[in-house]
A and B are shown apart, each in its own frame.
Chain A
Amino acid sequence: MSELEKRYSPGLAAQTKRPIEDPGIEPHRVRMTDKSEKHARTAERQIAAMFGVSVIGAIIAIWGFFAFPIVDGDLSATRNNSLWMGLGMALSMLGIGFGAVHWAKTLMPDNEVSELRHQARSSEETRAQALEVVKLADGESGFTRRKLIRRTMYGALAFFPIPGIIIFGDLGPVVGDSLRHTMWKSGTRLAKDPTGIPIKASDVTIGSVFHVIPEGLEDLEEHKLEEKAKAAVLLVRVNPEDLNEDPAKADWSYQGIVAYSKICTHVGCPVALYEQHTHHLLCPCHQSTFDLANHCEVVFGPASRPLPQLPITVDAEGYLVAQSDFLEPVGPSFWDMRK
């Protein structure tokens, strides 16, 4: 087997003889437009008509732009504008498209022709010449011969892109302990989301749910969304008998009122759905389900950690307040969260 044959070896392919000879390309089927001038003229008129329709479409689109100016508060103007411009554009495009394709299919020749391919591989002569060029260039530059130059060049080429990576170092600040802390601190009142009105313990009836933000969040000058993305809390009051509380955390709730982080421990969606009779909290993004009555442990879905609990109590005026910040990071797990 020659070198070239080896390079183009059929591998595991079996060599079977075909039962018949390749009959060659099928004979051309004559179309009506090929043999009848009348049909050809009809096709010509059809194509012209399609191009004509295209012009009408363009005119409709232009008319749609001017006929429906924007009227503040009137959505039907926007709708008509969009509809007629869109339909006009569609008609003008489809007219050209169908016209051109119809033209190709009816009037242009449709006999298939064959053309030879050439192997991608260059001819032996060309390859030899190319090799010569490379060798000549190598000799002239001394690329192979001068090892010192070659190796230092590799070194330089390896190092020069590094500043180009380092330069992006300020894309974001160094991660401090921001992932471990939220706005909650001792005495922060629990307020309604989004109004910011503080919640009195007496307002929370059994079975009711409040979407909660820390009081003062709305007044933040900056980083409002960043703080909210960590501090959002779900407040629920259940019958204290239904609560299976950890004795160590028994004073984290107030008369059956419990507050849990609303940020899913899976990948951070808001756990916004509460099912009253099962006390289950459901994340609508990936269906992680947490049992509110049982320390918000995961009962279903891809999450692994329970939702962190916010220790709460009431202040002198009867408003619900946080005892402290969350005692563990909220939201998705990250590698050094326990350190």
Chain B
Amino acid sequence: MTNTTEQKQGFVGGTANYLDERLGLGAVVKGFGRKIFPDHWSFMLGEVAMYSFVILVLSGTFLTFFYQPSMAEVHYDGSYAPLKGAQMSIAYASSLDISFDIRGGLIMRQVHHWAALLFVAAAGLHMLRVFFTGAFRKPRELNWVVGFLLFLMGMAAGFTGYSLPDDLLSGNGLRIIDGMIKGIPVIGPAVSSGFFGGEFPGTEVVARLYSLHIMIVPALIIVLMGVHLMMVVIHKHTHYSGPGRRDDNVVGYPLMPVYVAKAGGFFFLVFGVIAAIAATFTINPIWNYGPYDPSPVSAGTQPDWYIGWLDGALRLAPSGWDVVIAGFVIPMGVMVPLVVSLVFLALVAAYPFIENWVTKDKREHHVLDRPRNAPTRTAIGAAGVTFYGVLWAGASTDLIATNFQMSLNQVLTAMQILLILGPVIAYWVTKRACLSLQRKDREMVLHGRETGRVVRLPHGEYIEVHEPVDKYELWKLVDFKEYEPVLPRPDARGKITVGNRLRSAVSRLYFEDRIAPVSKAEYELAHADHAPAIEDKPKSKRKQKALTK
């Protein structure tokens, strides 16, 4: 390239040229610059999670410059008068200093905490979006698992960070973890000793949590997030069903310029909203709790929201479940909630594989299901959400009882019953609701939309005028995949295996009650039949009058 053309290019062109000659970035821009991304508000949930993580790294880096992860004891000598002279760990004292003695420290602590709450919330909602739209189907099963691990890592990052200030509230949280670990048969006490470096609380745990919190867990999150996004690039984003959206294309706006502006701008919106919340709403006022001391505790204590369901699981276990086998104690009151939570998580992680085992649908799916068009999956999701929700509410039994002036014991018993019955009810109601919505869609396709305009025909009959839906809307209503249950069939050796029977039974559970999309024959029949009511919308007042006459 000659000098003159470079001068003509100006600074941006020159830089682009410099980078391309050294890194070959031209090919990247050519390949990705006009990559198509579909547009939908629900696709922003994952973005919120990713941006929250960036905000966490930024604000967290600031905090590391001032925070000291030591459990050595000091006498507090900062600006917060009520605690002056109190004995506390250096970790707690430095957290107080960040809050009161460093300009911008409190706002950064609050930004960090609010962003963490939002990170897990957005990741959870993103998971629900993916679940209810069937975005986890082939070829995205592995990305579902990666996303699931990201959610777990989000919880891990949250919990390790929550304990760092070494205040009374987080110390009690650690104590609960210690109690749970100690209950694990055979290895429990040894694991607890290893975690705390001896007896609880010891002097090690804060420093250990710190290295997990600022190094191991974020590194895992960054790696997993990289893999997660790489897979999105490989698969290209899913899109909602609609006209022109097929499994072999992707419809949306190009990355440059529209998505660079929208997604880039959205980062600032997320940051701005978190900053506004952090500036105006207090979160985790550690100065109110005091330094950790194993003896006092405040009533109505609550963990951060994403740990709530685990705390609720602990509370809902009935009394007296400890069993003694050959003189060894197994505290089932602690182990059952632990195992149930782990099984729940395992089912979440395995769901794409379970559903595929039933449908055996090996095609690639890029058009998302509307939740109503997969009634059983939606119902299973609703049951799962209810189960999680009851456990979560279970962590607030004491607050519910005191705020609504009810008996604590009755609230807890009600929660125990709800934990079993709630998911069943949610499953049934959701499935019926989905099927009804599908029926409504069929009505719309066959007979058009109700206009609310009632007219009298010449022979005296009253009818409501139906307006046909336009072809774009119509396509959305008829374009979905339908599955049929399968009978147990003998395999090559003429045997019907247990697995085969099981699959057949589950396929009936999934697909026995179903509403088929409108077929071509049905559609044509309906449209040949009652012509005046659905034919087309009256184009003029005159035609309407003609009908009314």
| A binding-site residues for B, Cβ under 8 Å | 6-14, 16-20, 22-26, 65, 68-75, 78, 81-87, 89-101, 103-105, 108-110, 112-117, 119-120, 168, 171-175, 178-179, 193-194, 211, 213, 223, 225-226, 228-230, 232, 262-264, 266-270, 272-273, 284-288, 298-305, 331-339
CB pair B297–A272 under 8 Å, yes or no, is yes
CB pair B324–A12 under 8 Å, yes or no, is no
A208 CA to B338 CA, complexed, in Å: 38
A285 CA to B294 CA, complexed, in Å: 13
Given contacts A113-B253, A284-B299, A304-B319, contact A338 B474 (CB under 8 A): no
User: Which of B79, B273, B472 is in CB contact (< 8 Å) with A73?
Assistant: B79
CB pair A335–B330 under 8 Å, yes or no, is yes
CB pair B280–A78 under 8 Å, yes or no, is no
Q: Does B226 contact A (CB under 8 A)?
A: no
Q: Which residues of B contact A11 (CB under 8 A)?
A: 359-362, 483
Given contacts A81-B106, A178-B199, A269-B175, contact A91 B272 (CB under 8 A): yes
26 A-B contacts (beta carbon < 8 Å): A11-B362, A12-B507, A14-B482, A18-B475, A24-B244, A25-B243, A78-B79, A82-B104, A87-B279, A93-B275, A97-B265, A104-B261, A110-B253, A110-B258, A172-B192, A172-B193, A175-B193, A267-B178, A269-B172, A300-B409, A300-B412, A301-B412, A302-B333, A304-B333, A335-B329, A336-B329
A81 CA to B364 CA, complexed, in Å: 54
User: Which of A70, A100, A174 is in CB contact (< 8 Å) with B100?
Assistant: A70
Q: Does B176 contact A (CB under 8 A)?
A: yes
CB distance from A284 to the nearest CB of B (A): 4
Given contacts A86-B275, A100-B268, A303-B333, contact A229 B294 (CB under 8 A): yes
| Binary interface encoding of chain B residues 455-479 relative to chain A, with 1 for a CB under 8 A from any of its CBs, else 0 | 0000000000000000110110011
Given contacts A94-B272, A173-B198, A298-B319, contact A266 B333 (CB under 8 A): yes
Instruction: Report the nearest A residue to B484, measured CB to CB.
Output: A14
CB pair A332–B298 under 8 Å, yes or no, is no
CB contact list, B106-124 vs A, under 8 A: 106-107, 110-111
CB distance from B77 to the nearest CB of A (A): 10
Q: Does B517 contact A (CB under 8 A)?
A: yes
User: What are the 6 closest A-B residue pairs judged by CB atoms, nearest first?
Assistant: A86-B279, A267-B179, A100-B265, A19-B523, A93-B272, A11-B360
CB pair A117–B250 under 8 Å, yes or no, is yes
A74 CA to B100 CA, complexed, in Å: 9
Q: Does B318 contact A (CB under 8 A)?
A: yes
Q: Does B228 contact A (CB under 8 A)?
A: no
CB pair B519–A19 under 8 Å, yes or no, is yes
Sample of 20 more A-B contacts, CB < 8 Å, known A9-B361, A19-B445, A78-B99: A8-B362, A16-B482, A16-B519, A19-B523, A24-B244, A70-B102, A83-B280, A90-B275, A97-B265, A97-B270, A104-B261, A113-B254, A116-B249, A172-B202, A225-B201, A267-B178, A267-B314, A268-B176, A300-B412, A302-B315
Q: Does B449 contact A (CB under 8 A)?
A: no
Given contacts A100-B261, A338-B324, contact A228 B295 (CB under 8 A): yes
CB pair A304–B320 under 8 Å, yes or no, is yes
Q: Which residues of B contact A116 (CB under 8 A)?
A: 248-250
CB pair B275–A113 under 8 Å, yes or no, is no
CB pair A22–B479 under 8 Å, yes or no, is yes
CB pair B516–A97 under 8 Å, yes or no, is no
Q: Does B218 contact A (CB under 8 A)?
A: no
CB contact list, B282-325 vs A, under 8 A: 292-301, 311, 314-322, 324
Instruction: Report the nearest A residue to B479, measured CB to CB.
Output: A18
CB pair A117–B249 under 8 Å, yes or no, is yes
CB pair B201–A89 under 8 Å, yes or no, is no
| Interface band, chain B | 35 or more
Most chain-A CB neighbours within 10 Å: which of B198, B272, B315, B364?
A: B272
Q: Which residues of A contact B101 (CB under 8 A)?
A: 70
A117 CA to B479 CA, complexed, in Å: 19
CB pair B359–A117 under 8 Å, yes or no, is no
Most chain-B CB neighbours within 10 Å: which of A22, A86, A230?
A: A86
CB contact list, B504-536 vs A, under 8 A: 507, 511, 516-520, 522-524
| Binary interface encoding of chain B residues 223-260 relative to chain A, with 1 for a CB under 8 A from any of its CBs, else 0 | 00000000000111000001110111111111001100
Q: Which residues of B contact A75 (CB under 8 A)?
A: 79-80, 100
Q: Does B262 contact A (CB under 8 A)?
A: yes
A105 CA to B180 CA, complexed, in Å: 52
Q: Which residues of B contact A20 (CB under 8 A)?
A: 471, 474-475, 478, 523
Instruction: Report the nearest B residue to A113, measured CB to CB.
Output: B36
CB distance from B288 to the nearest CB of A (A): 12
Q: Does B11 contact A (CB under 8 A)?
A: no
A26 CA to B516 CA, complexed, in Å: 25
User: Which of B99, B250, B292, B316 is in CB contact (< 8 Å) with A115?
Assistant: B250
CB distance from B240 to the nearest CB of A (A): 12
Q: Which residues of A contact B316 (CB under 8 A)?
A: 302
